[in-house]
Amino acid sequence: MKNFAELEKKIGVKFNNPDLLTEAMTHRSFLNERLGEGIAQNERLEFLGDAVLELSVTNFLFSKFPEKPEGELTSLRAALVNSKMLFEVASKLKLEKYLRVSRGEAKDFGLSGQGKGKHYILANAVEAIVGAVYLDRGFEAADGFIIKQICSNLPDILENKLWRDAKSLFQERAQEIVGITPTYEVIEESGPDHNRHFVIGVYLEKEMIAKGEGFSKQEAQMQAAEKALKEKGWDE
């Protein structure tokens, strides 16, 4: 039995309706082994949490940086709410201890972190928690959780320039230095429809510079561009 009271302490929210936190921590695969039990999974809360998260982070950045234009604010927001950052938040909270998944998913998921679906599942669980907090305690409580757990990563993003759009930067560098516009091709695609995994290569003409992977084409392209910038020495 998962200790959700312990999780409440970690996230700093005491739920009026603890069933919402249980739902947030229930992956769709968990239902496959408990058909007919009326258990709710977390995809609806994830959908809601995604919208609350975007509003909260937008408001935070808008207030903090009155001098920054829309484009820079958009890049900072993307760096704060992308799946990689949400996975890091989930790891810090040790959400893998509390997530309810099927036995088969748990085998791939693993505490070692090697299961390729772990990143995607845990990032979504953070959004589901945001949705659950919003429904149970309102926007102010959800906003407090987001600022403490997610917006607190902003100094690291600024220091390490993680807000940069690697794909746009690689294109700018490639056009400026070698006069070529990069192209991206899917090398491998696997996994079920709800959890696709992509491996994508970035090319300068016919030469593949680097490969990236992720749970969306955009994520894989971004990782490929980041690696390509380092490979070419264009990341400074």
Verify whether residue 156 is a known catalytic residue: no
Taking alpha carbons only, the member of 27, 57, 24 closest to residue 127 is 24
Complete DSSP assignment for 135-147: HHH-HHHHHHHHH
The CA distance from 8 to 5, in Å, is 5
To the query of whether residue 50 is one of the catalytic residues in this protein, the response is yes
Read off the tokens for 162: 């993680």
Q: Of the residues 96, 105, 127, 226, which is catalytic?
A: 127
- The CA angle 65-81-127, to the nearest 5 degrees, is 130
Alpha helical stretches, state H, 65-184: 70-81, 83-93, 103-109, 118-137, 139-149, 154-159, 166-177
Query: CB-based contacts of 138: which residues, under 8 Å, 6+ apart?
Result: none
Q: Which of 23, 46, 50, 226 does the annotation list as catalytic?
A: 50
Give the separation between CA 94 and CA 155, rounded to whole angstroms.
22
For residues 192 and 108, the answer to whether their CB atoms sit within 8 Å is no
Residues with active-site annotation: 50, 127
